[in-house]
Amino acid sequence: MKLLEDRIKKEGQALSETVLKVDSFINHQVDSVFMDALGADFAEHFKDAGITKVFTIESSGIAPALMTAEHLHVPLVILKKQTSKILNGNVYQTRITSFTKGTSYELTLFADYIMPEDRILLIDDFLANGEAAMGASRIIEASGATLAGIGILIEKSFQKGRKRLEEAGYTVYSQARIGKLGAGVIEFLPEEEPQAAKRNRQTEPKSGEPPAQTVGKTGSRRAVGAN
């Protein structure tokens, strides 16, 4: 998406070979008009996927996910990283390890906010190793719902996240794909084509099986195990 690439070129700062700073317009100060444009793009890309809910993980993905949900006219559900006294009882949980931050947390979803018939679009700001998206996929699949697509603002294509998700059978659309980062260096890969164009080129759907899920239940709290 040229709009996002141009903004990254203008305001983004490559601090190292793996770290891109975009806090002036995405994850600290948020440009609401710009986020609306990103949301409209995600909605257009996944308009034929039968999306019933948009999911995101707190907190940097909330702004683009909200705008996407608005354009698709569906609810937004925010997966929680922090333990809450309110979210006790009938919940899905899985443990996520962030290699970027060197921390782990329990990703949590209250079971009332997902149904087996739901088709979920997951929106996140960054894709690197794919840990967060894989964790969200475990929760979604454990509920019986379908993860119908994954929308990413900025993909670090030199890391393994996209490959992991696609090998698990998920459709990934990234608005900006970065092929190389370095001090003062940001190089993009070519833009992805729209879903409709992909379907016109394909004679068969892409093969791939979703990851096997392990769901244990202790009381009313459902622990979704990583594989």
Q: What is the pLDDT of residues 45-77, one digit of tens each?
A: 999 999 999 999 998 999 999 999 999 999 999
Check the annotation: does 122 bind a ligand.
no
Pick from 21-25, 142-146, 182-186, 216-220: least confident: 216-220
Share of the chain above pLDDT 90, in %: 73
Distance of alpha carbon 155 from alpha carbon 46, whole angstroms: 18
Check the annotation: does 200 bind a ligand.
no
Do residues 90 and 28 touch, judged by C-beta distance below 8 A? Answer: no
Domain parsing of the chain, residue ranges: 2-222
- pLDDT for the residue 202: 44
What CATH number was assigned to the domain covering residues 2-222?
3.40.50.2020
Q: Mean pLDDT in the chain?
A: 87
Check the annotation: does 63 bind a ligand.
no
Check the annotation: does 128 bind a ligand.
yes
Mean pLDDT in residue range 177-188: 94
Check the annotation: does 156 bind a ligand.
yes
Distance of alpha carbon 179 from alpha carbon 157, whole angstroms: 5
Handedness of CA 145, 151, 154, 157 (dihedral sign): positive
Check the annotation: does 131 bind a ligand.
yes
Statement: residue 218 has pLDDT above 80:
no
Compute CA distances 95 → 59, 161, 196, whole Å: 17, 17, 35
Check the annotation: does 20 bind a ligand.
yes
pLDDT greater at residue 136 or residue 225: 136
Check the annotation: does 132 bind a ligand.
yes
- pLDDT for the residue 29: 95
- pLDDT for the residue 152: 98
Statement: residue 214 has pLDDT above 50:
no
Share of the chain above pLDDT 70, in %: 81
pTM of this structure: 0.85
- pLDDT for the residue 87: 60
pLDDT greater at residue 144 or residue 214: 144
- pLDDT for the residue 223: 67
- pLDDT for the residue 89: 73
